[in-house]
């Protein structure tokens, strides 16, 4: 308060000094390249010169079948990738968190630590380890399925067009389920005792307590997890690249926007790299992610009721 | 009293589900590590049993250590991660202090500007980042990676740390001011030590994606000199597709350092997550 009533004071250099390094690095390495990429998507390399071509790259991306088929395929696959995460990863995460947060549960610290292990591993490890496990050569997966009498259902999932994308999405779910679990767990722990006690006095316990009392209170956290999942999924690349290579085989069935961008930018095998088309794809990804974030901020977040304790 | 009778089956049910999921989470990791200590025949004949004296073999490890320059890749990863972490924490804490401590015009705007990077991934700027690095001659240097990761880590660091810095008591800082301490001394001597626990949280959040990243090493620094362990493992695995001993040993070597660090710091990490910093 005192600071506001005081008359004009000299420029406070220390604020600038504190802010400068972060703002400089962030602007130079993140914001300017991002803007540069958006700008580059409006240019094309004609005879070694960058020439402004307006939206021509986007017209190529959507109009030329060589590009548009790949783009829509990648977008469709990416959407499916996201849907699997939303319907498998997040409910499992919520369920595990609900179980972990039950009072006086023994070994809770052990479960928490163990279930979070896959999240800290790199995609390279996860992709390869699962490739080996699902490989018909090694036979671990068919052997395990034999134990429960389901051996007939085994096929080399990663090698079949109709299954590969779902299999990879589930591998990614396996890796990242720890994140929703931890965030929901934190949200559940922050619900005050009194609320739970009041519910118990009214005879609401167990499952109905979870559905009627706790779930509405953790909805904001579920919203944040959804948007984090969205951004992470539409920006994914590493797992597909590690498990299926840049061609996202079999027959592009696991191609997502990240791998599509990589091939457009760097080229692969017969296709030559084209930074301008790469920039156009990155711009589309930027718009998709921005759209998702805006939907979340303006439509979802404002409607979620927040409770203050 | 009814809760007492009902809670036993429920507790058993909860443990059953959690144990099953723990098994699912750990099974691939254990499987890989276990089989990396076996001979080729052992890997294929009894993949699900721990190595016995009959199947025990270190051939995979000797191949890996003889072939790939893993120690060198490891050093690169370590240099990149530690340096990026240092800059993220230092610059992030400084900016967070400025935003949470002082009122000045554009404060909120600056906060929003820095928070933008939490939602928009830096990867989308790759095309221009590569051009920038080529223009400044930083391609195939670790400096390029350190710069990129510092920029990548800053937004979340500033966001989390400023939440925590708001909790540091004003009286303490004002007492320091009355004693004639400069703003810099207040930051480095009074505030930084108090927010050390939250720095640890930020450190873990920043470290994991940097150590595991494949995209930027692949694009900015793919040379033999600057390969990180993740990129090295990726190329190495591609090279030895048919040598199962070597693959399993390489995977284990990549898993074990991270796993060891995680087991040591997991308490800190989980406390950080659940303390409400990222809600």
* A290 min Cα distance to partner chain B (Å): 7
**Whether A102 and B6 lie within 8 Å, measured CB to CB:** no
pLDDT for the residue A71: 92
The span from the CA of B50 to the CA of A53, in Å, is 62
Q: Is residue B62 part of a domain?
A: yes
Same domain, B18 and B33: yes
Rounded CA gap, A192 and B2, in Å? Answer: 23
Tally of CA atoms within 13 A in the half-sphere of B179 that contains its CB: 10
Would residue A29 count as lying in a domain?
A: no
Higher pLDDT, B206 or B94: B94
Phi, psi (rounded to 5 degrees) for B222: -85, 0
Angle A116-B83-B276 from CA coordinates, rounded to 5°: 40
Chain A interface includes B178 (CB < 8 A): no
Confidence of residue A75 (pLDDT cuts 50, 70, 90): very high
Clarify whether residues B8 and B123 are in a common domain.
Answer: no
Query: Residue A6: pLDDT above 70?
Result: no
Do B85 and B184 lie in one domain? The reply is yes
- The domain containing residue B3 runs over which residues? 1-67+243-274
Q: Is residue A137 part of a domain?
A: yes
- Same domain? For B121 and B209 the reply is yes
Comparing CB atoms, the residue among A102, A120, A126 nearest residue B14 is: A102
Average pLDDT over every residue of B136-141: 92
Cis-peptide into B259, omega within 30 deg: no
State residue B140's pLDDT score: 92
Q: Are residues B5 and B30 in the same domain?
A: yes
What pLDDT score does B6 carry? Answer: 53
B151 interaction partners in chain A (CB closer than 8 Å): 25-26, 28-30
Tell me if chain A has a CB within 8 Å of the CB of B49.
no
Min distance A82 CA to chain B CA atoms (Å): 16
Q: Measured between alpha carbons, how far is B153 from B209 in angstroms, rounded to an integer?
A: 9
The C-alpha of A177 sits at a distance from chain B's nearest C-alpha, in angstroms, of 9
More confident residue, B224 or A154: B224
What CATH number should be reported for the domain holding residue A228? 1.10.3720.10
The domain that contains B233 carries what CATH number?
Answer: 1.10.3720.10
* Residue B53 and residue B176 share a domain: no
* Three-state secondary structure readout of chain B: CHHHHHHHHHHHHHHHHHHHHHHHHHHHHHHHHHHCCECHHHHHHCCCCCCCCCCECCHHHHHHHHHCCHHHHHHHHHHHHHHHHHHHHHHHHHHHHHHHHCCCCCHHHHHHHHHHHHHCCHHHHHHHHHHHHHHCCCCCCHHHHHHHHHHHHHHHHHHHHHHHHCCCCHHHHHHHHHCCCCHHHHHHHHHHHHCHHHHHHHHHHHHHHHHHCCHHHHHHCCCCCCCCHHHHHHHHHHHCCCCHHHHHHHHHHHHHHHHHHHHHHHHHHHHHHHHHHCC
Q: What is the pTM of this model?
A: 0.85
Does residue A1 surpass a pLDDT of 50?
no
CA–CA min distance B19, chain A (Å): 8
Identity of the residue in A12, A40, A99 whose CB atom sits nearest the CB atom of B18: A99
**Is the residue at A210 inside a domain?**
yes
Query: Residue B119 domain-assigned?
Result: yes
B143 against B257, higher pLDDT: B143
Q: Return phi, psi of residue A191, to 5°.
A: -70, 125
Give me the count of residues in chain A. 309
Instruction: Please give the share of chain B, as a percent, with pLDDT higher than 90.
Output: 27
B154 closest CB neighbour out of A22, A40, A177: A22
Nearest-angstrom CA–CA distance, A78 and B101? 42
Q: Whole domain around residue A213: which residue ranges?
A: 56-303
Q: Which residues of A touch B152 (CB under 8 A)?
A: 30
Nearest to B156 by CA among A270, A52, A228: A228
Q: Please, which residues have CB within 8 angstroms of residue B73's CB and are 6 or more apart in sequence?
A: B227, B228, B229, B231, B232, B233
How would residue A7 be classed by pLDDT, with cut points 50, 70 and 90?
A: low
Cβ of A34 and B128 within 8 Å? yes
> Measured between alpha carbons, how far is B238 from B232 in angstroms, rounded to an integer?
10
- Do both B200 and B127 map to the same domain? yes
Number of domains in chain A: 1
Whether residue B83 lies within 8 A of chain A, CB to CB, comes out as no
Residues B11, A105: C-beta atoms closer than 8 Å: yes
Report yes or no on A131 lying in a domain: yes
Instruction: List pLDDT tens digits, range A185-235.
Output: 888 888 888 888 888 888 887 788 888 888 888 888 888 889 889 988 998
Please provide the average confidence, as pLDDT, over all residues in chain A: 85
What pLDDT is recorded for position A87?
94
CA atoms within 13 A on the CB side of B27: 17
CB contact under 8 A, A37 and B32: no
Structure confidence at residue B2 (pLDDT): 39
Residues of chain A contacting residue B145, judged by C-beta atoms under 8 Å apart: none
Is the interface score ipTM higher than 0.90?
no
* A44 DSSP β-pair partners: A51
B121 touches chain A (CB under 8 A): yes
Does residue B279 belong to any structural domain of this protein?
no
C-beta separation of A235 from B124 below 8 A: yes
Asked if residue B174 and residue B74 are part of one domain, the reply reads yes
Q: Is the pLDDT reported for residue B178 higher than 50?
A: yes
In a domain, A10, yes or no: no
Among partner residues A36, A92, A190, which is closest to B276 by beta-carbon distance? A190
Structure-model confidence comparison of residues A92 and B57, the more confident one: A92
**How many domains are there within chain B?**
2
Q: Do A174 and B127 touch (CB under 8 A)?
A: no
pLDDT category of residue B61 using cuts at 50, 70 and 90: confident
Contact A278, B127 (CB under 8 A): yes
pLDDT at residue B98 in the model: 94
Distance (Å, whole) CA A74 – CA B271 = 38
Q: Do B205 and B77 share a structural domain?
A: yes
Give the count of Cβ contacts less than 8 A between chain A and B: 261
CB contact under 8 A, B147 and A130: no
Q: What is the 3-state secondary structure (H, E, C) of A93-111?
A: HHHHHHHHCCCCCCCHHHH
A30-57 pLDDT tens trace: 999 999 989 888 988 887 778 888 888 8
Cα–Cα distance, A121 to A175 (Å, whole number): 8
- H or E segment at A51? strand A49-52
At residue B4, the pLDDT reads 42
- Whether residues B139 and B213 fall in one domain: yes
Phi (first) and psi of residue A267, to 5 degrees:
75, 160
Name chain A contacts of B185, Cβ cutoff 8 Å: none
Please check the confidence at residue B3 and state whether its pLDDT lies above 50.
no
Q: B43 near A137, Cβ under 8 Å?
A: no
Residue in B122, B124, B183 nearest the CB of A14: B183
Whether residue B151 lies inside any domain: the answer is yes
Residues of A in contact with B99 (CB under 8 A): 19
Of the partner residues B116, B125, B155, the one whose CB lies closest to the CB of residue A37: B125
Among B10, B214, B273, select the one facing A241 at the smallest CB separation: B214
Dump pLDDT digits (tens) for B234-275: 887 777 777 888 888 888 887 887 788 888 877 777 776 666
Taking 70 as the threshold, does the pLDDT of residue A93 lie above it? yes
A170 contacts A196 by C-beta, under 8 angstroms:
no
Q: Is the pLDDT of residue A309 over 60?
A: no
Check: CB of residue B160 under 8 Å from CB of residue B277: yes
> For residue A191, which of B279, B195, B265 has the smallest C-alpha distance?
B279
Q: What is the pLDDT of residue B278?
A: 44
Residue by residue, DSSP assigns A163-200 as: HHHHHHHHHHHHHHTHHHHHHHHHHHHTS-HHHHHHHH
Q: How far is B131 from chain A (nearest CA, A)?
A: 9
Q: For A62-85, what is the HEC assignment? A: HHCHHHHHHHHHHHHHHHHHHHHH
Name the 3-class secondary structure at A218.
helix
- Of the candidates B103, B151, B211, the beta carbon closest to that of A30 is on B151
CB-based contact B18 A289, cutoff 8 Å: no
pLDDT at A8: 62
């Amino acid at each position: 308060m005192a600071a506001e009533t005081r008359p004009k004071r000299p420029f406070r250099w220390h604020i600038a000094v504190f802010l400068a390094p972060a703002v400089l690095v962030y602007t130079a390495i993140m914001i300017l390249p991002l803007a540069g990429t958006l700008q580059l998507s409006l240019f094309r390399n004609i005879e070694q010169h960058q020439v402004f071509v307006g939206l021509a790259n986007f017209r190529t991306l959507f109009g030329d079948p060589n590009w548009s088929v790949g783009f829509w395929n990648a977008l469709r696959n990416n959407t499916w990738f996201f849907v699997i995460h939303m319907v498998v990863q997040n409910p499992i995460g919520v369920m595990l968190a609900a179980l972990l947060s039950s009072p006086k549960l023994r070994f809770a610290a052990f479960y928490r630590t163990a279930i979070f292990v896959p999240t800290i591993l790199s995609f390279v490890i996860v992709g390869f380890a699962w490739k080996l496990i699902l490989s018909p050569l090694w036979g671990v997966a068919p052997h395990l399925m034999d134990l429960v009498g389901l051996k007939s259902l085994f096929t080399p999932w990663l090698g079949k067009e109709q299954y590969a994308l779902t299999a990879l999405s589930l591998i990614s779910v396996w890796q990242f389920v720890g994140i929703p679990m931890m965030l929901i767990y934190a949200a559940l722990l922050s619900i005050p005792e009194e609320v739970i006690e009041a519910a118990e006095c009214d005879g609401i316990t167990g499952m109905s307590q979870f559905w009627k009392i706790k779930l509405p209170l953790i909805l904001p956290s579920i919203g944040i997890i959804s948007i984090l999942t969205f951004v992470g999924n539409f920006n994914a690349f590493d797992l597909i690249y590690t498990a299926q290579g840049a061609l996202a085989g079999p027959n592009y069935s696991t191609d997502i926007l990240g791998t599509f961008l990589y091939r457009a930018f760097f080229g692969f095998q017969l296709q030559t790299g084209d930074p301008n088309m790469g920039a156009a794809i990155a711009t589309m990804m930027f718009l998709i992610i921005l759209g998702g974030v805006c939907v979340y901020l303006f439509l979802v977040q404002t409607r979620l009721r927040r409770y203050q304790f | 009293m009814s809760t007492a009778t009902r809670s036993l089956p429920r507790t058993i049910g909860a443990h059953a589900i959690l144990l099953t999921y723990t098994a699912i989470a750990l099974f691939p990791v254990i499987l890989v590590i276990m089989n990396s200590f076996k001979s080729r025949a052992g890997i294929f004949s009894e993949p699900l049993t721990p190595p016995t004296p009959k199947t025990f073999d270190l051939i995979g490890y000797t191949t890996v250590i003889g072939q790939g320059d893993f120690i060198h890749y490891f050093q690169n990863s370590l240099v990149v991660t530690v340096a990026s972490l240092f800059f993220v924490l230092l610059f992030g804490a400084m900016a967070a202090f400025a935003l949470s401590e002082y009122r000045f015009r554009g404060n909120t705007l600056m906060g929003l500007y820095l928070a933008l990077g939490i939602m928009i991934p830096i990867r989308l700027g790759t095309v221009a980042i590569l051009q920038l690095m080529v223009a400044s001659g930083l391609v195939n240097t670790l400096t390029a990676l350190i710069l990129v990761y510092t920029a990548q880590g800053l937004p979340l660091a500033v966001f989390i740390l400023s939440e925590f810095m708001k909790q540091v008591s004003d009286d303490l800082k004002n007492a320091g001011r009355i004693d004639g301490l400069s703003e810099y001394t207040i930051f480095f001597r009074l505030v930084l030590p108090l927010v050390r626990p939250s720095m640890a949280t930020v450190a873990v959040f920043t470290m994991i994606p940097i150590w595991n990243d494949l995209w930027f090493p692949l694009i900015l620094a793919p040379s033999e000199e600057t390969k990180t362990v993740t990129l090295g493992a990726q190329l190495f695995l591609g090279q030895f597709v048919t040598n199962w001993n070597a693959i399993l040993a390489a995977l284990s070597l990549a898993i074990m350092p991270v796993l060891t660090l995680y087991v040591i710091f997991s308490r800190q990490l989980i406390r950080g997550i659940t303390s409400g910093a990222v809600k």
